[in-house]
Chains A and B, each alone.
Chain A
């Protein structure tokens, strides 16, 4: 017994000294520190806290009441928009300084964007800036002179950006890590080694002080940060992949925040914890018809199939990670309108003999589609399911997008797909079904739809935009019934009561400088 007491007191001692440290769970460990190239969410969390861009989201955690994310000044202290929304002039903070003491200058942004867009870097994230005048042409090698691209340092602290057409979401794009400034001098000096910790120079609220590959990152507040120093001095990002392990670590107090999908098997347990947070995520899961072939080349057939999907009985398989949605633009965005979309009539009888549906396999989705299959069989239709491994499915989709080595009869009648917002604006969703979109797998094209989307993105008047999107959604979902939205995604996270936090950021961005520890 004495021994046990001794052990216990050691454990208690080991637990103290963590008062100023936040312990945050990173789900994945494929971590890329070169922010021009970062695309995967764990790296975004890290970069968002050690670097900064022109704009940011002021509240890491948005309030449920307003629901909408708004970009706020970050390295740009202010900006003005002219030329009908096509020219942005940013005025940078004059007191922002890199961790090696060099002052931030507008040229650092120009260097970054030139690098991001250069065909030589071959960054898969280059498309983030394709709204900038000449950017796409520079990236594809059509023009080789970067001075023809619409970004220019007017002086040390003024940056001018010209777009090819107005983009009401452009300030949101500037919060993405790929657009953050870089130090060309250091990249030239160290080559690909510039992201090694000894050479890594940043200017965000935190610095990386230690990295144990596969294990954790340690962050410490940056003393040179231009803004207020953060309330939490140290942050440990611990890499734990397995959801049940992460949950056990949360229970035993080793992790303060699990920003992730939680193990469905223990839902009864974690959904009742006081630290359980949930909120809409800007993502939609939907069924897309193949309109190239019968029977879904006829819109009447698409409309009748859309009626047969009973969303409520399907949502239960996903442990709260998905919520039924009939319309295409999810809650959390302007122009979300839950009155749109075809109304369910689950017992309707269907005129189809046999249909094929392909999807990326997982337990929850297998159950979902088997349930649809059962219901359709009752209504006289044989639904063939084609579950695929995720990578396999993605490679099929990219072949479909490139229209190569794919035969018409290899494309199933229905594909299950998802869309996650690049930025919090309806355009990211509505653009998917324009005739020139790479992500439009349906084969459906409509000049009228294209025109509506173009008009909606070119006006700044919010009421007008909403009206245009309503009309476009009505065509997409009701008149033409090109897709059947199923659910919108729901963020789930566990946050320990010692962390002071509001709701969740709809884009799953985490800014530790805005959090506090109660004890």
Chain B
């Protein structure tokens, strides 16, 4: 277990260093710099500004300075939000993204699990077909389409919910549903498949032979085992709902971190691009590690070594 963890943490470290290096140089290959704007700046003013942010140094020197800062968890100053550091900006917005992610996960589990169980329980009935149709649509529909449909129905037609902003619990409903629909569909399909598999297992036949009620057989005996794959899916899904929310945050004007991901690139705000990328990268590798460890915990057949 400890060798496993050690090896994985080392890989994570190397992955993050590679990610930082790649992003750093990719950013600088993209044409256009952070201080190119529509009014031509007098050359001396531009030189002054670039000197202030050390953009006049050779790229390799900028790189070593940046990586040294990164080692100290200092992402540096933002070029666009003058007077604020990237650490400040991420600190303000990451919490909102995580909060939205948690709501989306609740939606995903709340819709996905019952839907999957119902379809497996009533396999090949209209209930099964219609839930699986919903699930496939949920996986395929892009979030901007889902968002537009939800806003149209619940805000413009019915006038029940606010169409955007992050103010009270009502404003969290639509973005959470938009973000949660895809994971919900994945959970529904996985639950159905794995539940169907367990239902055909020998120990379920035994349970039925004992004369237990069908609901007890499915919910108590079959479901428990079939949840293992679903549980392991939660790791990547958690990473997805936190890091994958930038379109949703943009559409619903939510002050989360995803918005910065898009804006920082158009602004060529190098330190902010780096900061957001590194936080996302860390979350992804960390969630994957958590899954591997969790996997070994819930399934005794797996040994880490």
Contact = CB atoms under 8 A, between A and B. Distances in A.
A213 B45 contact: no
A254 interface: yes
Nearest to A10: B170
A395 B31 contact: yes
Interface string A237-263: 011111011101101101000000000
A366 interface: no
A91 B266 CA distance: 44
Interface in B22-64: 30-33, 35-46, 48-49, 51-52
Contacts of B44: 139-140
A192 B156 CA distance: 45
Interface stretch (B121-129, B198-206, B249-257, B274-282): B249-257
Given A124-B49, A240-B165, A391-B268, A251 B156 contact: yes
Contacts of A14: 168
B86 to A, nearest CB: 13
A449 B73 CA distance: 56
Contacts of B151: 245, 248
Most chain B beta carbons < 10 A, residue from A14, A241, A248, A402:
A248
Contacts of A391: 30-33, 36, 266, 268
Nearest to A397: B40
B253 A213 contact: no
Interface string B52-88: 1000000000000000000000000000111100000
Contacts of B252: 245
B263 interface: yes
Contacts of B93: 213-214
Contacts of A39: 37
Interface in A319-368: none
Secondary structure call for the B interface: loop
B279 to A, nearest CB: 15
Interface in A178-211: 192, 195
A11 B268 CA distance: 41
Contacts of B81: 30-32
A213 B165 contact: no
A167 interface: no
Nearest to B93: A214
B269 to A, nearest CB: 8
Interface in A379-398: 389-398
A490 to B, nearest CB: 18
A518 interface: no
B38 A254 contact: no
Contact of B253 (A4, A140, A239): A239
Interface in B175-234: none
Nearest to B147: A245
Interface string A13-49: 0100000000000000111111001010000000000
Contact of B32 (A31, A392, A438): A392
Contacts of B42: 127, 438
A30 B80 contact: yes
A213 B89 contact: yes
A252 B159 contact: yes
B12 interface: no
A241 B164 contact: no
A32 B82 contact: yes
Contact of A242 (B32, B80, B253, B266): B253
A420 B143 CA distance: 36
Interface in B240-284: 250-253, 255-256, 259, 263, 266-268
A48 to B, nearest CB: 18
Interface of B: 30-33, 35-46, 48-49, 51-52, 80-83, 89, 92-93, 96, 148, 151, 155-156, 159-160, 162-166, 168, 170, 250-253, 255-256, 259, 263, 266-268
Q: Which 8 A-B pairs have the closest CB atoms?
A: A391-B32, A214-B255, A394-B36, A248-B163, A392-B31, A122-B48, A215-B255, A240-B253
7 contacts: A32-B83, A34-B83, A241-B250, A241-B253, A249-B253, A391-B31, A420-B38
Given A139-B44, A391-B266, 6 more contacts: A32-B82, A215-B165, A241-B253, A389-B32, A391-B268, A394-B37
